[in-house]
């Protein structure tokens, strides 16, 4: 039996092998036939819109697959999301693809939707200028104990160096000379770069700056707990004192430098302290001239650690901070001192019996608007400022104008008010200007001189001659009480101007809309003029009176000014309501 089945089994195995070889040959031919052809297509790019279009040139209906990828090496193109898009030529022979970031290694692959189809890869952005910002946004840096791994989408080889981050300006990283890191490119993956940091001082302000063409980016990845020694710089007289604390014995060096642009230029000699058993060390760095951006570089020399640490005790930012703090202290102290002085002066001034000067109002017109404004002013001065107001229209019986006559009454009131330090306010108007022009003739001048002489002889005699002159004036220009009192005031004022050369205590008052500067005679323009209500604040301050001690005269003047500002605006508004324009 064994002799019969042996040849039969051998024959069966031979037939199976021949059938398998025939089938394998047929599969290889189909695969080669289907995968050997490539679709004919064109690619058009639009970099500003971050998009491209693929157009397939076919005459029959076929299914084509299109995808974006990153060309990392010649035979490898990594995936891009979305991975694959189907293109049915029956519906449309073209397709638009968009991408978020434009990189030089961005490619497009086009192939038939068949098993093991040959893929055609086109990279249309190789000739475009490299944008470093897109490279940094699509890459990342990983820290290990002795190395840094930088990985990106495209096969780039940036140079790495150390820099010092300025805490006052986070975007500013000062370059550290002779701190280039050794790079080891991964032969298995060209998009990965390894940098050796085994001898780098891992301080939080020490960063790794990667540079590619004209673009660079700083990675500050070191943690606070990685640093092994600490230093402090204290300014002193003509030198800087550096205090260093290290948990292990080590040697350190320090040198002055001046910040210029993106680097700190060394200045002066290098000062070192050797390794010994102590953990606390000191360095003395003298300087001759203090420069605005003078700093100190401190680094460990044994065991050697690359990079230095920067200390700038005289930086402009810190100086401005000190100036701001000092200014705040001075302003706060000044405000407190002013507040305390004000209240002390106010308590002192409260004992001085502050009051307002007495006022004699002389009206120059009998017009209704003028009399209404004068009465409103008299009411405010007497009611709100508690000032003693004298006025012909307000004179009481037994001592008024009708009993004494205009000239004696006016002279008596002027002497009383001026002796008390008061003011004679002549309310001027166009009618007053006309009366003044008529009064200033030759007869009026002689009459004024006689009135002054009579006033000097005595009150009783001047009263008799005053009645006589009043009668002569009335015969020249008949008028009422207002014109008579005005003439008497002008005669008194002219006597002071001619006799003493000054007019202390006299002032002119005009109301807006009722009097202008053209209505004032040339001879009276040297008198103070208060145009109400806009000059009411100055008038209130002028009437404020206090018999203060000469030692406190400044505080009295300051307090009176503040009080005048406080009440003048309110009273000016009140006076405005009584003006004819407001009533209209």
**Which pLDDT score is estimated for 333?**
87
Asked if 186 and 245 sit in the same domain, the reply is no
Amino acid 208: pLDDT:
93
The 183-185 sheet, strands edge to edge: 140-143, 147-151, 192-196, 183-185
**pLDDT tens digits, one per residue of 149-164:** 999 988 888 999 999 9
- As a whole number of angstroms, the distance between CA 387 and CA 542 comes to 12
Average pLDDT, the chain: 76
- Which of 191, 224, 257 is the endpoint of a domain? 224
Instruction: Report helix, strand or coil for 244.
Output: strand
What percent of the chain clears pLDDT 70, i.e. is strictly above it?
A: 74
What's residue 181's pLDDT? 92
**Residue 442 clears pLDDT 80, i.e. is over it:** no
What pLDDT, on the 0 to 100 scale, is given for residue 489?
Answer: 84
**Count of structural domains within the chain:** 4
Distance in angstroms between the alpha carbons of the first and the last residue of the chain: 146
Q: Model confidence over 525-583: pLDDT tens digits?
A: 888 888 888 888 888 878 876 555 555 566 666 666 666 666 777 777 777 776 655 44
Nearest one of 558, 580, 584, 565 to 512, comparing CA atoms: 580
Backbone angles phi, psi at 386, to 5 degrees: 55, 40
Q: Say which residue, 123 or 474, is predicted with more confidence.
A: 123
Q: Mention every residue, 6+ apart, whose C-beta is less than 8 A from residue 516.
A: 510
409-416 contact pairs (CB < 8 A, 24+) = 409/485, 409/488, 410/362, 410/485, 410/488, 410/489, 410/492, 411/455, 411/459, 411/462, 411/466, 411/488, 411/492, 412/459, 413/360, 414/360, 414/489, 414/492, 416/358, 416/390
Instruction: State which of 90, 122, 154 marks the end of a domain.
Output: 122
**Mean pLDDT computed over 5-31:** 36
Quick one: 149 and 201 in the same domain?
yes
The most confident of the ranges 337-346, 420-429, 549-558 is: 420-429
Confidence of residue 22 (pLDDT cuts 50, 70, 90): very low
List the CATH number of the domain containing 243: 2.60.40.2150
User: What's 435's domain CATH number?
Assistant: 3.40.50.11530
Does residue 394 surpass a pLDDT of 80?
A: no
- Burial pattern 90-113, b for ≥16 Cβ within 10 A else e, equals eeebebebeeeebbbbbbbbbbbe
Residue located via tokens 């006025």: 391
Question: What are the start-end ranges of the E strands in 104-172?
Answer: 106-112, 120-122, 140-143, 147-151, 159-165
409, 484: one domain: yes
Q: What is residue 128's predicted lDDT score, i.e. its pLDDT?
A: 80
CATH number, domain with residue 113: 2.60.40
Regarding whether 209 and 149 lie in a shared domain, the answer is yes
* Tens-place pLDDT, residues 23-79: 333 222 222 333 468 888 999 999 889 899 999 987 778 889 999 998 887 777 887
More confident residue, 87 or 43: 43
Together in a domain, 502 and 374: yes
Choosing from 189, 224, 259, the residue where a domain stops is 224
pLDDT of residue 466: 41
152 is in which domain, residue-wise?
133-224
In a shared domain, residues 70 and 197 = no
In a domain, residue 258? The reply is yes
pLDDT band at residue 270 under the 50/70/90 scheme: very high
Residues in the chain: 584
Same domain, 416 and 510: yes
Q: Are residues 577 and 507 both part of a single domain?
A: yes
Considering the domain architecture, whether residues 293 and 152 belong to the same structural domain is answered as no
Model pLDDT, residue 108 = 92
d(CA 101, CA 213): 18
> Is a pLDDT exceeding 60 seen at residue 465?
no
Tokens 């990675």 -> residue: 219
Output the six-digit token pair for 63: 């299914």
Residue 461 placed within a domain: yes
- Quick one: pLDDT band at residue 142, thresholds 50, 70, 90? very high
User: Confidence class of residue 454 from pLDDT cuts 50, 70 and 90?
Assistant: very low
- Whether residues 78 and 111 fall in one domain: yes
What pLDDT sits at residue 161? 94
Range list of β-strands (E), 74-134:
76-79, 85-88, 94-98, 106-112, 120-122
Write down the pTM of the prediction: 0.48
């Amino acid at each position: 039996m064994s002799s019969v089945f042996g040849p039969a089994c051998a024959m069966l195995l031979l037939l199976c092998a021949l059938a398998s070889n025939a089938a394998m040959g047929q599969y290889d031919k189909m695969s080669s036939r289907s995968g050997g052809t490539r679709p004919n297509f064109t690619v058009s790019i639009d970099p500003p819109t971050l998009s491209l279009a693929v157009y397939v040139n076919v005459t029959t209906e076929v299914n084509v697959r299109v995808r974006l990828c990153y060309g990392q090496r010649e035979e490898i193109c990594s995936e891009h999301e979305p991975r694959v898009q189907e293109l049915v030529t029956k519906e449309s022979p073209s397709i638009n693809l968009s991408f978020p970031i434009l990189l030089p290694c961005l490619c497009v692959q086009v192939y038939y939707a068949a098993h093991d189809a040959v893929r055609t890869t086109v990279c249309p952005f190789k000739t475009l200028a490299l944008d470093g910002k897109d490279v940094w946004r699509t890459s990342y840096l990983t820290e290990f104990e002795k190395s840094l791994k930088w990985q990106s989408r495209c096969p780039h080889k940036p140079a790495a160096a150390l820099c010092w981050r300025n805490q006052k300006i986070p975007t500013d990283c000062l370059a550290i000379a002779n701190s280039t890191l050794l790079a080891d490119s991964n032969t298995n993956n060209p998009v990965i770069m390894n940098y050796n940091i085994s001898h780098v001082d891992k301080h939080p302000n020490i960063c790794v700056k990667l540079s590619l063409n004209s673009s660079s980016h700083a990675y500050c990845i070191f943690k606070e707990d990685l640093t092994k020694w600490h230093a402090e710089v204290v300014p002193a007289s003509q030198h800087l004192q550096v205090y260093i604390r290290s948990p292990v014995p080590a040697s350190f060096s320090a040198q002055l430098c001046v910040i210029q642009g993106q680097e700190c230029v060394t200045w002066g000699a290098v000062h070192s302290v050797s390794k010994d058993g102590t953990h606390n060390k000191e360095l003395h760095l003298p300087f001759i001239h203090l420069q605005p951006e003078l700093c100190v570089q401190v680094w460990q020399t044994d065991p050697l650690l690359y990079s230095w640490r920067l200390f700038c005790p005289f930086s402009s930012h810190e100086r401005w901070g000190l100036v701001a703090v000092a200014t705040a202290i001075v302003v706060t102290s000044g405000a407190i001192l002013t507040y305390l002085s004000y209240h002390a002066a106010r308590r002192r001034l409260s004992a001085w019996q502050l009051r307002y000067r007495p006022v004699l109002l002389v009206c120059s017109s009998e017009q209704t608007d003028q009399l209404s404004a004068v009465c409103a002013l008299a009411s405010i001065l007497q009611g709100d400022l508690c000032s003693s107001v004298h006025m012909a229209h307000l004179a009481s019986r037994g001592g008024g104008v009708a009993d004494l006559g205009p000239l004696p009454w006016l002279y008596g009131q002027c002497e009383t008010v001026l002796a008390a330090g008061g003011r004679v306010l002549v309310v001027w108007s166009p009618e007053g200007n006309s009366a003044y022009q008529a009064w200033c003739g030759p007869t009026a001048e002689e009459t004024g001189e006689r009135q002054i002489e009579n006033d000097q002889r005595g009150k009783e005699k001047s009263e008799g001659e005053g009645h006589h002159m009043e009668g002569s004036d009335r015969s020249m220009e008949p008028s009422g009480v207002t014109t008579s009192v005005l003439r008497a005031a002008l005669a008194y004022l002219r006597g002071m101007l001619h006799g003493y050369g000054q007019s202390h205590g006299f002032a002119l008052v005009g109301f807006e809309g009722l009097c202008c500067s053209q209505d004032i005679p040339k001879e009276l323009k040297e008198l103070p003029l208060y145009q109400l209500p806009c000059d009411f604040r100055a008038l209130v301050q002028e009437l404020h009176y206090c018999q203060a001690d000469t030692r406190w005269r400044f505080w009295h003047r300051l307090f009176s000014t503040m009080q005048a500002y406080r009440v003048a605006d309110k009273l000016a508004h009140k006076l405005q309501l009584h003006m004819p324009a407001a009533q209209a």
